[in-house]
Amino acid sequence: MTISLKVNGRERTVDVAPDTPLLWVLRDRLKLKGTKFGCGVGVCGSCTVHVDGMAVRSCSVAVSDVGDMAVTTIEGLAEGPEGTPGAIQQAWIEEQVPQCGYCQPGMIMAVAAMLETTPNPTDADIDDQITNVCRCGTYPRLRRAIHRAAKAKGAQA
**Residues in touch with another protein (CB under 8 A):** 16-17, 20-21, 24, 27-29, 31, 33-41, 43-44, 46, 73-75, 78, 83, 85, 89, 92-93, 96-105, 108, 126-128, 130-143
Find out whether 24 and 60 touch, Cβ atoms under 8 Å: no
Q: What is the rounded CA–CA span in Å between residue 91 and residue 97?
A: 9
The three-state secondary structure class of 76 is helix
Nearer CB in complex with another protein: 27/153:
27
Closest distance to another protein from the beta carbon of 50 (Å): 13
| Measured CA distances, 110 to 4, 57, 74, 115 (Å) | 24, 9, 10, 9
Nearer CB in complex with another protein: 54/93:
93
The three-state secondary structure class of 13 is strand
Nearer CB in complex with another protein: 92/113:
92
Closest distance to another protein from the beta carbon of 132 (Å): 8
Closest distance to another protein from the beta carbon of 6 (Å): 19
Other Cβ atoms within 10 Å of 93 Cβ, number = 12
Nearer CB in complex with another protein: 47/51:
47
Closest distance to another protein from the beta carbon of 5 (Å): 15
Find out whether 97 and 81 touch, Cβ atoms under 8 Å: no
Nearer CB in complex with another protein: 51/86:
86
Q: What is the rounded CA–CA span in Å between residue 36 and residue 48?
A: 8
Tell me the residue length of the chain: 157
Closest distance to another protein from the beta carbon of 107 (Å): 9
